[in-house]
């Protein structure tokens, strides 16, 4: 399931992007800038397992619950896609 | 046509919360939380007091059709995930055969397909029986006195590697016993497809990322092939009986297959964990107990065996 970036709360989406960058930098020990168009698996080397840790840390820090069962990994491949999905498929914890 | 004549499953009544396994398995708090939140694991079935022999015997004793029919059993196939389960010369399979009065049967182990081995054993059992009885009864004829095979599954989670597949699943203990015939009419096997991918050997780990990427598409492919061979479609499948690797994998499989998660029997993941080759049989029993299978309903069993290579397997049945 995909979500159009224009259909989600842009402020919340930006918060997700900012928190994602901080988590990814720490999780992957990645020191270069992380941009929204970066492919999580192919460019950043994010494994399935680290992807789940990313989701859990996002839930913790943003105090949300993410509808993981609706996340189609094949269609949520970049940092920006991921943030858009979360902005459109999460609720307060 | 290969058919399941009777199924029995034994799961130890004790359930261990996964948090209790953190220290012995060396899991971090984050790993435990991921197992619970995303992999859907809550407890796993374990019986520290029961030996492998005990597990297999408890499953076999549950087969009400076995007593009095031992003479009909030609083969005993023990499908297991791990290649080694007992120190030499201990042989739980032979001990079980002796205890059940099956000394006359040809008993052997089916392995090297990890958790997909149970489906392979059903197929082998049916083929052996069919070959033995090539001139025997045709489909639909009375097979009430015909030859049978006993397919056993079940293992002890006895080492760290046998207790857990890192960041993927935690294994539970249990066992199943299944009578298979070549010409039965009860749960008829309509098709079986498997794809063995030796390049995904976790001993080297060099293709681990590729396996993660190809895991779901490869499983979906054999599922679709099995449906094609059975002359049916996913729409006609009453329920999918999965291997209980974890919840998130099957949630994502459902997105890929474009079916609601309710079509996959995921009930046993939170309580049992991944019970090696036994999952399919335990899920079959749950489907029957829940009244999900009516005569004529078709169902699809699917499993991935990962370890020394990966095997993707799917089997379509008609109840």
Say what the ipTM of the complex is. 0.90
For residue B299 the two structure tokens come to 């169902």
Q: What pLDDT digit, counting tens, does each position of B34-61 carry?
A: 999 999 999 999 999 999 999 999 999 9
Report the distance separating Cα A22 and Cα A24, nearest Å.
6
The residues on B that touch A, with CB distances below 8 Å, are 30, 33-34, 37-38, 167-168, 209, 212-213, 248, 251-252, 254-256, 261
B38:A55 CB<8 A? yes
Predicted confidence at residue B139, as pLDDT, reads: 45
pLDDT given at position A75:
84
What pLDDT digit, counting tens, does each position of B255-292 carry? 999 999 999 999 999 999 999 999 999 999 999 999 99
Has residue B120 got a pLDDT over 90?
A: yes
Q: Which of A41, A56, A73 sits opposite B33 (nearest CB)?
A: A56
**A58 close to B (CB below 8 A):** no
Asked whether residue B123 carries a pLDDT value surpassing 90, the answer given is yes
The CA distance from A50 to the nearest CA of chain B, in Å, is: 9
Say how far apart CA B274 and CA B295 lie, in whole Å.
Answer: 28
Binning pLDDT at 50, 70 and 90, where does residue B143 land? Answer: low
Provide the pLDDT for residue B136.
57
Q: Are B304 and B116 in contact (CB under 8 A)?
A: yes
Residue B26's pLDDT band (cuts 50, 70, 90):
very high
Residues B67 and B194 grouped into a single domain: no
Residues B162 and B17 in one domain: yes
- pLDDT, residue B140, reads 44
Determine the Cα–Cα distance for residues B220 and B256; give it in Å rounded to an integer.
8
Domain hosting residue A29, numbered range: 5-92
Q: Are residues B192 and B176 in the same domain?
A: no
Residue B55 Cα, gap to closest chain A Cα (Å):
32
Q: Report pLDDT for A44.
A: 95
End residue of a domain, out of B181, B203, B222: B181
Using the Cβ of A41 and the Cβ atoms of chain B, whether some distance falls under 8 Å is answered with: yes
Question: Both B36 and B168 in a single domain?
Answer: yes
pLDDT in tens, B191-201: 999 999 999 98
> Residue B261's closest chain A neighbor by CA?
A69
Q: How many domains does chain A have?
A: 1
Q: Considering its fold, how many domains does chain B have in total?
A: 2
How close A39 gets to chain B, by Cα (Å)? 14
Residue B149's pLDDT band (cuts 50, 70, 90) = very high
Region B83-95: mean pLDDT is 94
**Cα B65-B67-B69 angle, rounded to 5 deg:** 75
pLDDT band at B137 (very low <50, low <70, confident <90, very high): low
From the list B229, B63, B72, the residue with the least C-alpha distance to B152 is B63
In this structure, are B191 and B172 located in the same domain? no
Nearest to B34 among A47, A53, A71 (CB): A53
Alpha-carbon Rg for chain A, nearest whole angstrom, is 12
Task: Show which of B166, B181, B196 is a domain's final residue.
Answer: B181
Nearest to A68 among B168, B248, B256 (CB): B248
How far apart are the CA of B117 and the nearest CA of chain A, in angstroms?
A: 25
Q: What are the start-end ranges of the E strands in chain B? A: 3-10, 15-17, 43-45, 73-79, 106-110, 148-155, 164-165, 169-170, 174-181, 187-201, 237-241, 298-318
Q: With contacts defined as CB-CB under 8 Å, which chain B residues touch A1?
A: 255
Please indicate, yes or no, whether residues B64 and B90 belong to a single structural domain of this protein.
Answer: yes
CATH of the domain at A79: 1.10.1200.10
Check: CB of residue B268 under 8 Å from CB of residue B45: no
Rounded to a whole number of angstroms, the distance from the CA of A89 to the nearest CA of chain B is 15
Please give the mean pLDDT across all residues of chain A: 92
In contact, A76 and A55? CB cutoff 8 Å: no
B88 plus B31 within the same structural domain: yes
Between B206 and B35, name the one with better pLDDT.
Answer: B35
One domain, residues B175 and B232: no
Candidates A27, A48, A65, A68: best to mutate against B (most CBs of B within 10 A) is A48
By residue range, what is the domain housing residue B40? 3-181
Query: pLDDT at position B145, please?
Result: 83
B64, pLDDT greater than 50: yes
Q: Average of pLDDT values for B209-235? A: 95
Nearest CA in chain A to B256: A72
Q: What is the pLDDT, as a whole number, of residue B266? A: 98
Min distance A24 CA to chain B CA atoms (Å): 15
B79 plus B120 within the same structural domain: yes
State the nearest Cα–Cα gap between A6 and chain B, in angstroms. 23
In chain B, the largest separation of any two C-alpha atoms, in whole Å, equals: 61
The angle subtended at Cα B12 by Cα B284 and Cα B115, nearest 5°, is: 50
**Chain A partners of B248 at a C-beta cutoff of 8 Å?**
52, 68-69
Q: Which residues pair with B175 in a beta bridge?
A: B10, B154
Q: Give the one of A41, A47, A52 whose C-beta lies nearest to B38's C-beta.
A: A52
pLDDT tens, position by position, A53-78 = 999 999 999 999 999 999 988 789 99
Do B77 and B169 reside in the same domain of the chain? yes
User: What rounded mean pLDDT belongs to chain B?
Assistant: 94
> Looking at residue B91, which CATH number applies to its domain?
3.40.47.10
CA distance B164 to B264: 23
Using the beta-carbon criterion (under 8 Å), do B30 and A56 form an inter-chain contact? Answer: yes
Same domain, B275 and B298: yes
Domain co-membership, B159 together with B251: no
In a mutational test of the A interface, the residue from B27, B167, B218 whose CB has the highest number of chain A CBs within 10 Å is B167
Q: Nearest-CA residue of chain B relative to A71? A: B252
């Amino acid at each position: 399931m995909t979500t159009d970036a224009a259909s989600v709360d842009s402020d919340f989406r930006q918060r997700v992007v900012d928190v994602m960058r901080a988590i990814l930098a720490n999780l992957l020990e990645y020191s270069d800038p992380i941009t929204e168009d970066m492919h999580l698996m192919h460019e950043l080397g994010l494994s399935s397992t680290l992807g789940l840790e990313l989701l859990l840390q996002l839930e913790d820090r943003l105090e949300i619950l993410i509808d993981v069962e609706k996340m189609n990994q094949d269609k949520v491949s970049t940092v920006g896609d991921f943030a858009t999905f979360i902005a459109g498929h999460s609720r307060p914890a | 046509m290969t058919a399941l004549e009777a199924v029995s499953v034994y799961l130890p009544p004790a359930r261990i919360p996964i948090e209790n396994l953190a220290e012995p398995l060396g899991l971090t708090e984050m790993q435990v939380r991921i197992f619970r939140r995303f992999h859907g694991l809550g407890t796993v079935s374990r019986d520290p007091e029961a030996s492998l022999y005990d597990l297999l015997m408890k499953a076999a004793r549950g087969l009400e059709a076995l007593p009095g029919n031992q003479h009909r059993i030609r083969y005993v196939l023990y499908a297991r995930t791990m290649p080694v389960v007992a120190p030499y010369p201990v042989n739980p399979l032979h001990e079980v055969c002796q205890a059940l009065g099956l000394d006359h049967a040809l008993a052997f182990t089916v392995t090297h397909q990890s958790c997909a081995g149970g489906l392979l054993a059903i197929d082998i059992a049916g083929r052996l029986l069919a070959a033995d009885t090539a001139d025997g009864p045709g489909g639909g004829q009375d097979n009430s006195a015909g030859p049978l095979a006993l397919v056993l599954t079940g293992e002890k989670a006895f080492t760290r590697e046998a207790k857990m597949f890192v960041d993927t699943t935690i294994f539970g203990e249990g066992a199943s016993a299944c009578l298979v015939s070549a010409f039965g009419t009860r749960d008829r096997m309509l098709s079986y497809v498997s794809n063995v991918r030796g390049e995904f050997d976790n001993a080297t780990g060099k293709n681990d990322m590729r396996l993660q990427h190809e895991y779901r598409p490869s499983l979906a492919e054999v599922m679709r092939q099995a449906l094609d061979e059975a002359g049916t479609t996913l729409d006609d499948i009453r329920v999918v009986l999965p291997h209980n690797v974890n919840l998130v994998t099957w949630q994502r499989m459902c997105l890929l297959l474009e079916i609601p998660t309710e079509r996959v029997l995921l009930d046993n993941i939170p309580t049992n964990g991944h019970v090696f080759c036994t999952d399919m049989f335990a899920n079959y029993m749950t489907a029957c107990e829940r009244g999900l299978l009516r005569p004529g309903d078709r169902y699809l069993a699917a499993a991935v065996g990962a370890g020394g290579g990966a095997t993707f397997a799917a089997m379509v049945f008609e109840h």
